[in-house]
Structures are given as structure tokens and as C-alpha cells.
């Protein structure tokens, strides 16, 4: 079973991860992981924190000579900002009252986390619930991507909407998504990019924040990942759960998703064809590459809705946890809009989830054996 755990706090020494279940013999390029980490850090609308950090992975185990050994891969991503926070964040010497937070933010884990864990300070909750954690998830996905690439699976992401600024023509080919890499908002249309930047600027000037919609696409996925036989083995179950676990993601749709609820079946289901050369195929892909909880060999299309960032520079009302009097919520340095970064996180979280499903069907202890047994369904 391929799985991973992360650890680390936003202003702690480092983010960490342990990946277990990778086959031996996969060549891992560190630069490609650092490249994905850098992609996550970009995006118009981010706050000052991303100017401090320059994320790079340090692998501690499970890789020798650039190749996986089959042992757990443990890694770190150091927080440069830690040197400004060591006084409060050092696990043994840190002052626990350092930058205590007593005004929990609506829309964050602050209030319920503090009550649930019996704390009298929001700080420990804020530190762990922060989306800084997604750096560790991106690294895990980036490593998993290098396994899937061996079998011809490729993933990409882009931003469809920020606030009210939305991409008009959403029928885009996989290859067009490369253009998103050049856009500060990860949008493939220059006109929409300008509109997105404008709405972000307006939100920032108003001390407000914005969410949006991102799309992840995966091509080259073999048929038969996931299974219809049990609810928790369905590929759409697994993708929805993993994507909903990303901070601020509040909706996940596969293929036509919510739109399909408004159309008759004749316009939603993808008719089946067969050719001697390519086997079974479809002319349309409303299902987004999954039917009955299994990948059907078409491109995977998944969209995620991100809510606006909860930390507002013009803060919402809250209550002081000591006096219970009304107060403004804390405003710690924050992004105005992190939708472009969320697209990268969603892409790599999708990749890891697919790698898990891939290992379930085609997994062996070594890549060599996987290659030997590799026989995708036609
Ligand atoms: C890439 C990314 C960056 C984020 N940056 C911030 C931020 O700077 N400030 C903030 O308050 N929330 C930020 N968030 C969202 C919060 O982490 C999230 O809303 C919070 O943890 C509560 O979880 P929930 O929204 O899933 O309920 C970010 C989310 C993502 C995916």
C-alpha cells in the first residue's frame, strides 16, 4: 500500500513527510521536486511569506544514488522563516506564550481546534492547520509523479475562475495547459488573466480575499484504476476525499459534475466505440475519465472550488477567548488569493492518489517487476 504522512508547523523548523510503499528502482530527480515546490509558491495575490521561503527538498532516506530502494522515503522542507520564530517555536526552549493568539478567525480551524484540544491559545492550531503544510504534500505528489511518468501518465493544472473572473471557453486541450505555467494566475487566456489580476487587486485594496475554481487534468491513465465493488475502493471516492482535504477546498467535481445534473442522459453519457487499432474508445468525455468508480481510459478531469482565504486584512468580527468580548479577528501575514497555488497542490494531490490506485492494480516491490507485468486493459 502506497501512503504518506506529513508533519510540521507553519513557523516550525521544517515541513516533513514520510512516503511508504514506493517500489524499488524508480529514478528520482530532485530538481523536478524542487520545481514543483517552486510552482506551489508562485501566483499573483500571495502574501509576504512566499518571498521569505525558497522551498527545496532534503531527502533523508529511501533513495540511494537517485533511485528508490523500496524503504520509506523521509524528507524535509526547511522553513526559512523559522529563524524569526525560533524564540516561540523551538520544541523545548520556545516560549509558549510567544505571539499568543486570542482572537480566532472565522473560517479557520482556530476556535474549534483550540476548544477540541483543550488549549488556551489559538497559535498551535493555526500553526498546523496552515496551508504551509501543502508543501509537504506537493513533494509527495512530485515523487509519485516520477513513478507514474514511467508508465506514460501525465498531469497538469490550471485556474478556471477567480472570484467573478472566469475563463469563457473552457474546452481546452491537455497540451494548452502548458501555457498556464507562464501565467501569474495559472490561466491560459490573456484576457481572463487580466480580469483575474484586476479582481485580486480590488480585493486586496478592500482588505478582502478571493477564492476560485481550479482544474486538474491527467492523460495516459490506464483503464481500471479503482473498483466498483466497494465504496471506499472507488477512484472518485478517493480523489474527492484527498482533494477535499486540501485547506480551503469546499467542492470537488469530476467531469461535467454539477452541470450534468441539469442535462438529459443523452447529453451526458459518453457513447462507446471500438477500433481494432485502439480498442474501446469514446468521442466525448462528459464523465471526466471515471465510470463506476474506475478510470475508463479517457482523460481525467477534476475541478475543485476554493473558498476565499479566511485571514482578512479588514478582519471579521470574533470574540476574545479570555474575556468573550467582541473583537476583530487576528490578521497575521496572509495571501489575498491562493487559487493558483491551490491548482498546483490539487494537481500533486491528484497525482499521489492516482499513484496509490495504480500501485493497487499494477504494484510490485520493484519497478523492474512492474514493467514486466505491465499490461494495461484495452
Ligand atoms: C495554497 C493555499 C494557501 C493558503 N493561504 C492562506 C493564507 O495565507 N491565509 C489564510 O488564512 N488561509 C490560507 N489558506 C486557507 C486555509 O489554510 C484554510 O482555509 C484553513 O486551514 C481552514 O480550513 P478549511 O478552509 O478547509 O475549512 C490557504 C490555502 C491554500 C490551499
pLDDT in tens, 155-178: 999 999 999 999 998 789 999 999
CA-CA distance, 50 to 345, in Å (whole number)? 15
Q: Is 312 part of a structural domain of the chain?
A: yes
Specify the ligand 1 atom closest to the Cα of 109.
Answer: 22
CATH number, domain of 313, equals: 3.60.150.10
Per-residue cell: 99: 505571539
Specify the ligand 1 atom closest to the Cα of 130.
Answer: 17
CA–centroid distance, 130 to ligand 1, in Å, is 6
Q: Is 17 part of a structural domain of the chain?
A: yes
Among 251, 335, 341, residue to substitute to test ligand 1 (most atoms within 8 Å of Cβ): 335
CA-CA distance, 263 to 283, in Å (whole number)? 18
Per-residue cell: 225: 484504476
Per-residue cell: 268: 451526458
Specify the ligand 1 atom closest to the Cα of 306.
Answer: 31
Residues 32/146, Cβ–Cβ less than 8 Å? yes
Specify the ligand 1 atom closest to the Cα of 108.
Answer: 22
The angle formed by the CA atoms of residues 307, 326 and 201, to the nearest 5 degrees, is 35
Whole-angstrom distance between the N-terminal and C-terminal Cα of the chain?
25
Q: Is 28 part of a structural domain of the chain?
A: yes
Is the torsion defined by CA of 83, 87, 89, 90 positive or negative?
positive
Among 131, 245, 311, 333, residue to substitute to test ligand 1 (most atoms within 8 Å of Cβ): 131
Q: Is 228 part of a structural domain of the chain?
A: yes
Among 137, 338, 350, residue to substitute to test ligand 1 (most atoms within 8 Å of Cβ): 338
Specify the ligand 1 atom closest to the Cα of 341.
Answer: 1
Q: Tens digit of pLDDT per residue, the chain (378 long)?
A: 999 999 999 999 999 999 999 999 999 999 999 999 999 999 998 887 777 889 999 999 999 999 999 999 999 999 999 999 999 999 999 999 999 999 999 999 999 999 999 999 999 999 999 999 999 999 999 999 999 999 999 999 999 999 999 999 878 999 999 999 999 999 999 999 999 999 999 999 999 999 999 999 999 999 999 999 999 999 999 999 999 999 999 999 999 999 999 999 999 999 999 999 889 999 999 999 999 999 999 999 999 999 999 999 999 999 999 999 999 999 888 899 999 999 999 999 999 999 999 999 999 999 999 999 998 887
Structural domain count of the chain = 1
Q: Is 378 part of a structural domain of the chain?
A: no
The angle formed by the CA atoms of residues 133, 226 and 301, to the nearest 5 degrees, is 65
- What pLDDT does 14 receive? 98
Q: Is 92 part of a structural domain of the chain?
A: yes
CA–centroid distance, 247 to ligand 1, in Å, is 5
Q: Is 132 part of a structural domain of the chain?
A: yes
pTM of the model: 0.97
**What is the residue range of 50's domain?**
3-373
Q: Which residues' Cβ are closer than 6 Å to ligand 1?
A: 47, 108-109, 129-131, 134, 246-248, 307, 309-311, 334-335, 338, 341-342, 345
Specify the ligand 1 atom closest to the Cα of 250.
Answer: 26
Specify the ligand 1 atom closest to the Cα of 333.
Answer: 8
CA-CA distance, 55 to 57, in Å (whole number)? 7
CA-CA distance, 147 to 32, in Å (whole number)? 12
CA-CA distance, 226 to 247, in Å (whole number)? 25
CA–centroid distance, 195 to ligand 1, in Å, is 23
CA–centroid distance, 131 to ligand 1, in Å, is 5
pLDDT tens-place string over residues 132-144? 999 999 999 999 9
Residues 6+ apart with CB under 8 A from 250: 244, 305, 306, 307
Residue nearest to atom 4 of ligand 1 (CA): 131
CA–centroid distance, 345 to ligand 1, in Å, is 12
Distance of CA 153 to the CA centre of its chain: 18
Residues 6+ apart with CB under 8 A from 305: 211, 212, 213, 249, 250, 251, 252
CA-CA distance, 224 to 354, in Å (whole number)? 11
Amino acid at each position: 500500500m502506497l501512503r504518506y504522512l506529513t508533519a510540521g508547523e507553519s513557523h516550525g523548523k521544517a515541513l516533513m513527510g514520510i512516503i511508504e510503499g514506493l517500489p524499488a528502482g524508480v529514478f528520482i530527480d530532485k530538481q523536478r521536486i524542487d520545481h514543483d515546490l517552486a510552482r506551489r509558491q508562485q501566483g499573483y495575490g500571495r502574501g509576504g511569506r512566499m518571498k521569505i521561503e525558497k522551498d527545496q527538498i532534503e531527502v533523508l532516506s529511501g533513495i540511494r544514488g537517485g533511485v528508490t530502494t523500496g524503504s520509506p522515503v523521509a524528507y524535509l522542507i526547511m522553513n526559512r522563516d523559522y529563524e524569526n520564530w525560533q524564540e516561540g517555536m523551538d520544541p523545548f526552549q520556545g516560549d509558549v506564550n510567544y505571539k499568543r493568539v486570542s482572537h480566532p478567525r472565522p473560517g479557520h480551524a482556530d476556535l474549534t481546534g483550540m476548544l477540541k484540544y483543550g488549549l488556551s491559545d489559538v497559535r498551535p492550531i493555526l500553526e498546523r492547520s496552515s496551508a504551509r503544510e501543502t508543501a509537504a504534500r506537493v513533494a509527495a505528489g512530485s515523487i509519485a509523479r516520477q513513478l507514474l511518468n514511467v508508465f506514460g501518465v501525465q498531469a497538469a493544472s490550471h485556474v478556471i475562475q477567480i472570484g467573478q473572473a472566469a475563463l469563457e471557453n473552457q474546452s481546452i486541450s491537455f497540451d494548452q495547459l502548458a501555457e498556464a505555467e507562464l501565467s501569474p494566475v495559472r490561466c491560459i487566456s490573456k484576457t481572463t488573466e487580466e480580469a483575474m489580476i484586476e479582481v485580486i487587486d480590488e480585493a486586496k485594496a478592500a482588505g478582502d480575499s478571493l477564492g476560485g475554481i481550479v482544474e486538474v487534468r491527467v492523460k495516459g491513465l490506464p483503464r481500471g484504476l479503482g473498483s466498483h465493488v466497494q465504496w471506499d475502493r472507488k477512484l472518485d471516492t478517493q480523489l474527492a476525499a484527498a482533494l477535499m482535504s486540501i485547506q480551503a477546498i469546499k467542492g470537488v467535481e469530476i467531469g461535467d459534475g454539477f452541470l450534468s445534473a441539469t442535462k438529459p442522459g443523452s447529453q451526458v453519457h459518453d457513447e462507446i466505440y471500438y477500433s481494432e487499432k485502439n480498442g474501446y474508445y469514446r468521442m466525448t468525455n462528459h464523465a471526466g475519465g471515471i465510470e463506476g468508480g474506475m478510470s475508463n481510459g479517457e482523460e481525467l478531469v477534476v475541478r475543485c472550488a476554493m473558498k476565499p482565504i479566511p485571514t482578512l486584512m479588514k478582519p471579521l468580527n470574533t470574540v476574545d477567548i479570555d474575556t468573550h468580548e467582541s473583537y476583530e479577528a487576528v490578521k497575521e501575514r496572509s495571501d489575498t488569493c491562493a487559487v493558483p497555488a491551490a491548482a498546483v497542490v490539487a494537481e500533486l494531490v491528484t497525482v499521489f492518489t492516482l499513484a496509490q490506485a495504480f500501485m493497487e492494480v499494477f504494484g510490485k516491490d520493484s519497478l523492474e517487476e512492474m514493467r514486466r507485468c505491465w499490461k494495461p486493459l484495452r
